[in-house]
Amino acid sequence: MQQVGIKVAAPYFPDAQEVLEDIGRVLESGHLMNGPFSDQFEQEICQKWGVKEAVTLNSCTTAIQIALSYFGIRNKRVLVSTNTYVAAGNAILYAGGKPVFCDLAPGGLSPGAKEFEARITRDTVGLIFTHVAGIIDPKYLEVKAWCNRKGIFLIEDCAHAHGARILDYFVGTRSHAGCFSFYPTKIITTGTGGLLTTNDSGLAEYARSLRFHGKAERPYEYDKAGNDWFMNEILAVLGVHQLRKLEQFIERRRQLANFYRTYMQSLRRITFFTEGEGKSVYYKLPVLLDTAEALNHLRKYWDTQYGLECEPLYYPPCHMQPVFANNPDIDQFQCTEAERILPRQFCLPIHLRLTDDEAMEVVKSLERFFNLDN
């Protein structure tokens, strides 16, 4: 069979000509950093999402690391899901803390309060909650309430969740900090880049200082150990334009997610994950196959017959990654639910360039696979 080559992710710039014109203005101005487009991007984020402060940065990892440093985690423990990118654990280490990887709630993509409670100790100071795949997790609100009861900070890893809503508010706006990624595969992209959102003016001021080598208020003085962590003006141009298309992008992703749910109802060997109250945005659309062996077969089938990647979200999970599993300073725990669920999880293609015909071909390919894999 001829390969169809459906991509699992692809950036989308519907207003490329306008973007290029604004990039030309930046180049003509000679103002390539910390300029008007960076300010505009931050201001429009605050206005659209209802948050007090937004700080553009060079990556989501930087945003997490800055927030952790601000909260003072050196030699302290920070709870985090094992089902997330290694960047969260790395940021904890770079900020001088110790990541504590927590298991998933049964059948879910994230830990709940019970799973975090199982790992808390006297020197636990905070928690990073990942909004996996841009899907609102049913356990998030109980985790948020649990953090309040325990008196620990809550950082939202919103790398997947631009414009997602929990109840009637946007992710990253009702916790101590929200951290966003604009990597090329994300819902909106600046190529590389990140953002920190917060209602804590002290944290925002701290982030703005650290992103430019720890610059102080007085000219030519630096009072913190920072780095060149700012987003340049050309990337900020992309951010401004992408943000203005965000609701359009989300609507199309939601259409595709509903398309898959509708046309895959008869595929009994595939399960969609339960969602909580709010508005999911589907950076990815993870599903669960009945066995890990079947997923290995599907991976080979898609690769040879369709040229299509059978992509997991995160596997192996963080607690199994050598960078953490081989670190004697990190407490080692089993995460049995993650090890049970994640070897059976993969993502359906979902992005702005994907057509309905291509999505239907994905569905038909699964039907053909299940007819063969009996």
Burial 150-175 (b: 16+ CB within 10 A, else e): bebbbbbbbbbbbbbbbeeebbbbbb
Residues of the chain with CATH 3.40.640.10: 16-244
pLDDT at 141: 98
pLDDT at 4: 57
pLDDT at 14: 95
pLDDT at 2: 46
Residues of the chain with CATH 3.90.1150.10: 246-372
CATH number (3.90.1150.10, 3.30.930.10, 1.10.1660.10, 2.60.120.10) of 246-372 reads 3.90.1150.10
Q: How many residues does the chain have?
A: 374
Cα dist from 219 to 35, 154, 215, 223, 289, whole Å: 18, 34, 8, 11, 59
Half-sphere exposure of 39 (CA within 13 A, CB side): 5
- Here the tokens at position 153 are 């900070």
Q: Kindly give the confidence (pLDDT) of every residue in the chain, 374 residues in length, as a single tens digit, with 9 standing for 90 and above.
A: 445 578 888 899 999 999 999 999 999 999 999 899 999 999 999 999 999 999 999 999 999 999 999 999 999 999 999 999 999 999 999 999 999 999 999 999 999 999 999 999 999 999 999 999 999 999 999 999 999 999 999 999 999 999 999 999 999 999 999 999 999 999 999 999 999 999 999 999 999 999 999 999 999 999 999 999 999 999 999 999 999 999 999 999 999 999 999 999 999 999 999 999 999 999 999 999 999 999 999 999 999 998 888 899 999 999 999 999 999 999 999 999 999 999 999 999 999 999 999 999 999 999 999 998 66
pLDDT at 271: 96
pLDDT at 8: 80
pLDDT at 1: 46
Considering only the top CATH level, what class is 16-244? alpha beta
- Here the tokens at position 93 are 């280490």
Residues whose CB falls within 8 Å of the CB of residue 262, separated by 6 or more in sequence, listed in order: none
